[in-house]
Amino acid sequence: PSGTWGDTHRLAPWRALPDAATAPGDEPGLSGDHDCVLCTSPVPGLTDRAARGPAARYVWDLADRANSRWVVPHGASGLPGSPHHHDQQSLWLGGELAPVVTDFDRLTKESDD
């Protein structure tokens, strides 16, 4: 097919509860195949939609925890409608990371109500 890799290779995560706000063709395009840093994996010859990929990426700085980074494919919340449901997706797709907050004075409980 013409176009970029991400035009046909799209994220297709399995969901126990379908997200009504996301139609199958609306999933983001991907940048990587199964042998790269941004690895995802479709079923070759069957589909270009990838249901497999890393559940999380972490980089731990053992000398200084404040320099540690992480990212998950969608967001820190699994609840559709939460502001954190897809808040890390653009980072995950771009191979970027978010800070890991380990300072208990900065951690707060948020409600998804």
* Residue pLDDT, tens place only, 34-54: 777 777 888 878 888 887 777
Alpha helix locations (H) across 34-87? none
Q: For residues 69 and 60, give the distance between their C-alpha atoms in angstroms, rounded to a whole number.
A: 7
Q: What tokens does 67 get?
A: 């320099």
Mean of all residue pLDDT scores within the chain: 81
| pTM for the predicted model, two decimal places | 0.70
Residues 6+ positions from 85 with CB-CB distance below 8 Å: 74, 75, 77, 78, 79
- Dist. CA 113–CA 106, nearest whole Å: 21
- Give the mean model confidence (pLDDT) for residues 96-112: 80
Task: Please state, in angstroms and rounded to a whole number, the distance separating the CA atoms of residues 36 and 39.
Answer: 5
